[in-house]
Amino acid sequence: MPALKLLKLPPPVAESWEWQMHAGCRDVDGSLFFHPDNERGEARENRLAAAKRVCGQCVVRTQCLEYALDSGERHGIWGGLSEDERTRMRRAERRRPIS
Ligand code: SF4
């Protein structure tokens, strides 16, 4: 079997994830950003609001949201948007006419 030849080395992984070093949620309990099973009503609204307050102060919010949209993250709050909000955003993007 012939040896594989790498034409180009992949970029350092840390470079793509460097923004996470500045994440406003680094020292926050991750469960704030992901809903537990069967969470409904006021409990859910309160958790979402608390997570969004953290995101609202985050200096890498744009990068976080871009990552979530690009990678198709289906769960959790990313870039200050919930799963449902990201889904609506993707649908709106698809409906937008190409200029
Ligand atoms: S935008 Fe929110 S979820 Fe994303 S890194 Fe910042 S604090 Fe964390």
Average pLDDT, the chain: 89
**Residue 98 counted as domain residue:** yes
Atom of ligand 1 nearest to the CA of 68: 4
> Which structural domain range is residue 88 located in?
40-99
Question: Residue 97: its pLDDT value, please?
Answer: 84
68 pLDDT above the threshold of 70: yes
| Separation CA 18–CA 12 (nearest Å) | 10
Residue 50 and residue 28 in contact, taking contact as beta carbons nearer than 8 Å:
no
In a domain, 96, yes or no: yes
Q: Which residues contact 81 (CB under 8 A, 6 or more apart)?
A: 65, 68, 89
**Number of domains the chain is built from:** 1
**Which residues line ligand 1 at a C-beta cut-off of 6 Å?**
23-25, 33, 54-55, 58, 60-61, 64, 77-80
Q: Please check whether residue 33 lies inside any domain of the structure.
A: no
Say which amino acid occupies 7: L
57: in domain: yes
CA of 49 to the centre of ligand 1 (A): 13
Above 90 in pLDDT, residue 12? no
Give domain status of residue 66, yes or no: yes
Q: How far is the CA of 84 from the centre of ligand 1 (A)?
A: 16
